[in-house]
Structure 1
């Protein structure tokens, strides 16, 4: 309101909130007085089944949801914690510059013919990719980020205990 950003004090994911704060503060002078909801979860919120159009901004979406897409929090600050970047990759615009430089050194003909995934464990559906990676590392290298990886141990064991 009036060039200022207000939000609920409590925050479920502090690094995500910090990234969204950064993003909103960088555009606040270009948008009118507005009230909106930003979804900090890894899944959309406004299911089309209930037929209610609500101004909920999310960084993930499927065709079954009305959520409005916006740039993920990791594009502005933080991002997934990887072994090379234990506190996250930081601002995407700055990280992108590094990627461009590295892409000049690592041309396509120097790269491995291998699938690659590192991300959060938002649901058990991704466990199958992790298990494929463990069983066939020549096909895909897949890992969970540190903050979520512990959840897969029980689920993977339950789902695949008969296959071990």
Structure 2
């Protein structure tokens, strides 16, 4: 794979833990401090001689299938270094910057300004990269292949659909009702704020993601953490307006405000103003939209995701003080069998070719 020499986000994440990471101490600390089976789940992985082993802790460990899948995929493509790591299976980052003891180097799908977790591409982007063109769900290329109306024919309104996983999403619905000519926002499900469904409902039907791009302005508001739809919004041909947030995905540090997206305040107080700005500056808004689509082609295609994981695992492995090993309490994660295995038959060799 033709990968970049350095990823600044990886360097920043790993520097927090120095160059002598002791996984024996890290696992012991994780079990002592994060032994909360009902609310925290994580897995201890060991890749040894390109085979994947793990032991998981907590009640809800089903999301290990996403980490299993990327590790198994990588071991079919490259020889990974022997490496051990602790993978957080929840959305929220675990280790806090404010903690004064030896920090646990958790790998997580989302980071925050208050946490020290090592950020990986989200499970959603990772799965879409592994299954691209082979699943019904979203991937960045299918979004770019369904751009909706041309820019000039899109409805010049801010659009949003989603569930009630953060209070600001309720505020967005309120804004939509106050400014229906500027914002079209509705909730598709109530779970966190069920008692407020009467005020902010009724819930509406889901809208195909491809149909989001009938609208010129795509509003991105955090859910429980960063909204994992961000790569797909950037891939489309609308203008992304992104809420200021303490949460981030692995690529956010490469995004430039007003080059790839238009930022708005966390409390949404300037969102209407930003949409009206976009209406008044249509050419610049269109330019930002095109730059966002190009960013996806330059940074978020499957080979970029594979490169990021490969870099991260190699860089982390170099910092371990002990040789990684698969302990007896770990289980081997079996390699998947190809649906269409390649049969290499020497009898088909032709000298003239």
Tell me if both proteins adopt one fold, taking TM over 0.5 as the criterion.
Answer: yes
When the two chains are superposed, the root-mean-square deviation of aligned CA atoms in Å is: 3.4
Picking from 52, 65, 80, the partner of 1:5 is 52
Distance 1:135 1:47, change over 3 A: same
The 10-residue stretch of structure 1 (25-34 or 136-145) with the greater mean CA deviation from structure 2: 136-145
Does residue 18 of the first structure (1) align with residue 65 of the second (2)? yes
Q: Where does residue 159 of structure 2 map in the other structure?
A: 116
Q: Where does residue 98 of structure 2 map in the other structure?
A: 49
The 10-residue stretch of structure 1 (26-35 or 5-14) with the greater mean CA deviation from structure 2: 5-14
Q: Tell me how many residue pairs correspond in the alignment.
A: 142
Distance 1:131 1:10, change over 3 A: same
Q: Where does residue 84 of structure 2 map in the other structure?
A: 35
Distance 1:54 1:31, change over 3 A: farther
> Are the aligned partners of 1:48 and 1:64 in contact in 2 as well (CA < 8 Å)?
yes
Indicate the SS of the match to 1:22: helix
Structure 1 unaligned spans of 5+:
79-86, 159-164
Picking from 106, 119, 122, the partner of 1:72 is 122
Distance 1:72 1:89, change over 3 A: same
Report how far residue 73 of structure 1 moved: 0.5
CA shift digits 1:5-35 (9 cap, x unpaired): 2332876263x43333222222244432222
Does residue 152 of the first structure (1) align with residue 193 of the second (2)? yes
Q: Where does residue 172 of structure 2 map in the other structure?
A: 129
Report how far residue 152 of structure 1 moved: 1.9
Structure 2 unaligned spans of 5+:
1-46, 129-134, 200-353
TM-score, length-scaled by structure 2: 0.34
**Relative CO higher for 1 or 2, CA cutoff 8 Å, sep ≥ 6?**
2
TM-score, length-scaled by structure 1: 0.64
Report how far residue 110 of structure 1 moved: 2.4
- Structure 1 or 2: more strand by fraction: 2
